[in-house]
Amino acid sequence: MNNSQTAFKLRSQLVKFMGIFSPHFSKPMNGFLADMFYGIQSAKDIKLSCIGRGLEEEIPLKKTEERLSRNLACEQLAGTISSCVAREGAKHIGKDTLIVIDPTDIRKLYARKMPYLAKVRDGSSGEIGNGYHCCVAVACESGGRRIVPLHLRLWSCDAPGFKSENDEIEQIVNAVHAGAKQRGIYVLDRGGDRGEIFNMLITRQLRFIVRLVGDRNLLWRKHSMLAEKLAGKCQMSHADTIRRETAEGEKIYQIKYGAMNVFLPEHPGKPLRMVVVKGFGANPMMLLTDLAEGDSWKSLWQVVEGYLSRWRVEDTIRYIKQSYRLEDIRLLDYTRLRNMMAILLATVFFASVWLGKSLRKSILVSNITHVSKRLFGVVEFHYYAIADGIATLLRRYGKWQGGWTCPNRNTASPQLELALFDSG
């Protein structure tokens, strides 16, 4: 399959992908969404001017921008798109699939006119600056490499109608739960160690792994103790070696871990386990879960590996920010900002999940990543290469114009025609 044929097949898959959303929107709105999905991937950018250039419409760019901006103001857009993606993503969630929910932020240090800019803290540098809070929900298998984006949400603490961060996280869980039902294991970092979050997970009877902060009160043998003091009493019954690829190279950790029976004071009738892991730093890592009913290696390793798999969501956040210039977002309306996040979620879902649903599409992905022409081949987290390849194909081979074209279609063989138009 040459590059023009790959580009044609890619456009046809984008049209099929629109079938997820088409029953929920009018024909003009569906056309707008298709243009946005195409333009973002062609430009690898979410600024309206760049999306407009990616569409290459035969009208002034200013008119294209105005049309995109007008449609982006639809109040129900974000909620409907997010629900559609969550339902489609739920098809990839099994009983023990991890559903990682992780907060992040968008820093806008030099913005002055963007609406409801709030103070956010950079997780890497610790610096405080203007921006927006975000949260990403991603599904993945324990120890696996494939990701399934489920939700991408933006909010400002200073916006009208904002209740709390707990409420925003609860809406994310509700969206995922609506499709996945009781399937999956919810994984949260220390930001999830809140009474409201535990109440939500336990009352919905959802399985979970949550990293604890040191001052969390737990009940152990009918005594109330701080988690960090209780961790010192835990017997380390297992040991393993962990390897992690970082920007500085491979890091190797020798860890030991064990577990003990505990209860939350607010839920004394709900048996829980605190899994303690030593070896990642000076202080032990404490994980509260309703899994690990026994002390076998298999039982405890499910919890440890499940939590460590959340590193994949950090890769996902970095991929979204870098591949689509998320932190360069420039919109002067709060509704448009939130809608753009939902559209970006759907765009990422198409690139990372939709194109890999079948063997035939995996062959297409192989052709796409080949076009990216990376110096050292396709990296382990290959979604960067997919984004680069899609952008190259959409820019160089044919135009969108509300549909798709194939430059070599008239010269294709009958066998190729059948393959390209096959519904698989």
Q: Are 50 and 68 in contact (CB under 8 A)?
A: no
Strand, helix or coil for residue 85: helix
What does the pLDDT read at residue 5? 84
- The first and second tokens of residue 142, run together, are 């324990």
CA distance 360 to 160: 47
What does the pLDDT read at residue 399? 76
Helix axes 383-396, 311-323, angle to 10 degrees: 20
Q: Are 351 and 42 in contact (CB under 8 A)?
A: no
- The first and second tokens of residue 297, run together, are 């290696």
Strand, helix or coil for residue 149: strand
Count other C-beta atoms under 10 Å from residue 61's C-beta: 14
Q: What is the pTM of this model?
A: 0.87
Residue 224: its H or E element? strand 223-226
- The radius of gyration computed from the CA coordinates of the chain, to the nearest angstrom, equals 23
Which parts of the chain register pLDDT below 50? Answer: 358-360, 363, 372-380, 403-424
- The first and second tokens of residue 364, run together, are 């297409």
Strand, helix or coil for residue 354: helix
What is the residue type of 185? I
Strand, helix or coil for residue 113: coil
Strand, helix or coil for residue 169: helix
Helix axes 3-17, 414-421, angle to 10 degrees: 30
Q: Give the residue carrying structure tokens 């599904």.
A: 139
What does the pLDDT read at residue 410? 40
What does the pLDDT read at residue 367? 57
Give the alpha-carbon dihedral of 114, 115, 119, 121, to 10 degrees: -60
Q: Are 321 and 341 in contact (CB under 8 A)?
A: no
What does the pLDDT read at residue 401? 60
- Give the phi and the psi of residue 268 in degrees, each rounded to 5: -65, -15
Sequence-ordered list of residues with C-beta below 8 angstroms from that of 307, at least 6 positions apart, any chain: 187, 209, 211, 285, 287
Question: For 2-56, what is each residue's pLDDT tens digit?
Answer: 788 888 888 999 999 999 999 999 999 999 999 999 999 999 999 999 999 999 9
What does the pLDDT read at residue 365? 53
- Give the phi and the psi of residue 219 in degrees, each rounded to 5: -100, 125
